[in-house]
């Protein structure tokens, strides 16, 4: 499973940046994760008009065993 993170910075000032964490994931494949990063980049101006997507990262997450019983 992959989690999508996108680094966004204020246009004209690379010193003011934020990391956005996708709320729709995680995704089964890295390709799905990359596609979601590009979707976030395209939708960004509607939500954060002064920001620009600079980088993305797809982090592989291990399946959580929380709440599961070991048998």
The parent domain of residue 31 ranges over 2-50
**Is 66 a residue whose pLDDT tops 70?**
no
Q: Among 54, 55, 1, which residue's Cα sits nearest to residue 30?
A: 1
Q: For residue 24, tell me if it sits in a domain.
A: yes
Q: Are 8 and 57 in contact (CB under 8 A)?
A: no
The two three-digit tokens of residue 17, written as one number = 């940046």
d(CA 70, CA 68): 6
What is the total count of domains within the chain? 1
Q: For residue 41, tell me if it sits in a domain.
A: yes
67 Rama sector, left if φ>0, alpha if ψ -120 to 50, beta otherwise: left
Q: What is the pLDDT of residues 2-48, one digit of tens each?
A: 999 999 999 887 789 999 999 988 999 999 999 999 999 999 999 99
HSE-up of 55 (CA within 13 Å, CB side)? 7
């Amino acid at each position: 499973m992959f989690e999508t993170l996108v680094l966004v910075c204020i246009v004209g000032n690379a010193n003011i940046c934020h990391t956005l964490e996708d709320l729709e994931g995680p995704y089964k494949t890295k390709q799905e994760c990359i596609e979601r990063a590009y979707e976030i980049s395209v939708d960004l101006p509607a939500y954060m008009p002064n920001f620009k997507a600079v980088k993305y990262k797809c982090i592989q997450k291990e399946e959580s065993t929380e709440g599961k019983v070991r048998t």
